[in-house]
Structure 1
């Protein structure tokens, strides 16, 4: 597996992203630049007390941990350890160059290696978009290591449900458009107008089209039919979620055409959602940009209420 590593200078002087770099080796590959065998690295942010229970914030498509930049300090200031990785193919993490290098299962394997390497337990999952497809599976497959789940604009599809037309259009665009402008894609999913500095930060991981295989691959990997390779594993995960009694909170936005209604579906299906203070936040698909304070406070409030009942 050949991969590219985004030059460090692309991330210099990012606005609102002062966090130190951390890396975990998750696989082996060939650095396409040096032509040498090297470990495939996953980058992550790690803020707050190192001995505190971790909040694992998982981003989606086509963003990276920069998406959580406003939320990380709020949760860390409340005494939580906040870990926000860049999925492989995104952000400061390495980027396999072939679309065939990416599969749903490969992302699951990389994230499993990640939480194993950091020996994470008592995890609170915070997830959105593909962060939910990966995170909900991860929590279900490691249920004893997760203590709570918070989902904003996300779902765990099995291919058995009807998929919105907006998603089909997005999948077609990602697969066939010769132009794949990352920052404009993010901007199209927010109510706010991204500043030039923010747009530049979303574009930073991708110096050229060669770096975008991971972003192109994600829409094609979503299970939209019952015979998808990931369907059986996702159905197995739902069996765990159908019996999930731990806190399960939804914080969907009011302006996302792709995941609209998913919050009600999960609230009705997952036992741990009963009695939770579910919220509808103001924003588009990327609610971390539109309502970051409200999202972070909802996380802190849930964890505070859980601490009071312990």
Structure 2
């Protein structure tokens, strides 16, 4: 297996993405290490908010939310998960596991921002982030969740099964076009190219192809027992928990209600289904999502 490093030239002149680079080295397992890239914007002594991306995006997804949140008084931290964005990319699909992604993200969190923080999470950012909330609720001050869930088996939807099969076997796995199709608003050619930037060839897409296969939506899959245990802490999480889901998301659109009904801190919060909003809600409704984070943080006494 090789650990691939991104070519910096592919990330030159990206639209609205002129953030400084920050890096840490994480233990990937089996004797491998890799560099993890992250954004860190805003005063270091400001209340921190973690912005977790999912599949197959990267921190570019948060370029519209970060300025709003910094102006509101936050320190914004957005990592590129291993296998995505500017971070290093193991080229073996089988090397990626749910637990390893948890370990890599936890290493980043403990090294960079170990203090309690707000969380915004979407897609796999929620499968990872909500698990961390359930396992260590004391490290989170409030949560805003969009188009995500913490699955524990069951029966997957036909839409998800089709996506999983496509990610596994499609000879043409064009990341930028996937983002284009999963938003309710039009991306520019430059934005589409930015989502393609981390993935110049097939080996670099190993992490992106792996993620859909790792979602524990069927009984017996790895991650189910860990998520069931995490749900005990997540359900009891009594700090502000807000769901803002996209009305035009066919895969996760109905899961916001399940989260809001099961998590204690969601009671009485102004949950919303956002119109003209697809799966990648950060592209379609960034201002409203950032305002949701501000609202939750104020209720938590952070701002």
Q: State the TM bucket, normalised to the shorter chain.
A: over 0.9
Q: Distance in 2 between matches of 1:62 and 1:136?
A: 18
Q: Distance in 2 between matches of 1:26 and 1:136?
A: 21
Determine which of 50, 73, 76 is the counterpart of 2:44.
50
Counterpart in the other structure of 1:143: 137
Write out per-residue CA displacement over residues 225-273 of structure 1, whole angstroms, 9 at most, x where no aligned residue: 2211111000001111121111110011111010121111111111110
Matches within 5 A, 1:176-187: 176-187=169-180
Write out per-residue CA displacement over residues 162-218 of structure 1, whole angstroms, 9 at most, x where no aligned residue: 321110000000111111000011111001111011011000011111100000000
Aligned 8 A contact 1:45 1:65 in 2: yes
Normalising by structure 1, report the TM-score: 0.94
Counterpart in the other structure of 1:188: 181
Q: Distance in 1 between matches of 2:243 and 2:136?
A: 20
Counterpart in the other structure of 1:77: 71
Q: Give the superposition deviation at 1:289.
A: 0.5
Aligned 8 A contact 2:43 2:74 in 1: yes
- SS of residue paired to 1:289: helix
Determine which of 266, 271, 280 is the counterpart of 1:278.
271
Determine which of 104, 117, 122 is the counterpart of 1:110.
104
1:200 aligns with 2:193: yes
What is the RMSD of the two structures over their aligned residues, measured on CA atoms? 1.6
Matches within 5 A, 1:29-44: 39-44=33-38
Aligned 8 A contact 2:239 2:300 in 1: no
1:171 aligns with 2:182: no
Write out per-residue CA displacement over residues 85-109 of structure 1, whole angstroms, 9 at most, x where no aligned residue: 0010000000000001100011000
Q: Distance in 2 between matches of 1:11 and 1:119?
A: 25
Determine which of 240, 244, 253 is the counterpart of 2:233.
240
Q: Distance in 2 between matches of 1:165 and 1:69?
A: 32
Q: Give the superposition deviation at 1:300.
A: 1.2
Normalising by structure 2, report the TM-score: 0.96
Write out per-residue CA displacement over residues 126-150 of structure 1, whole angstroms, 9 at most, x where no aligned residue: 0000000000011112211111111
Counterpart in the other structure of 1:8: 8
Q: What stretches of structure 2 of length at least 5 have no aligned partner?
A: none
Counterpart in the other structure of 1:126: 120
Counterpart in the other structure of 1:295: 289
Q: Distance in 2 between matches of 1:89 and 1:306?
A: 33
Aligned 8 A contact 1:89 1:214 in 2: yes
Counterpart in the other structure of 1:34: none
1:156 aligns with 2:150: yes
Q: Give the superposition deviation at 1:281.
A: 1.6
Q: What stretches of structure 1 of length at least 5 have no aligned partner?
A: 31-36
Aligned 8 A contact 1:53 1:121 in 2: no
Q: Distance in 1 between matches of 2:208 and 2:240?
A: 31
Runs of 4+ residues over 6 Å off in structure 1: none
Number of aligned positions between the proteins: 302
Aligned 8 A contact 1:248 1:276 in 2: yes
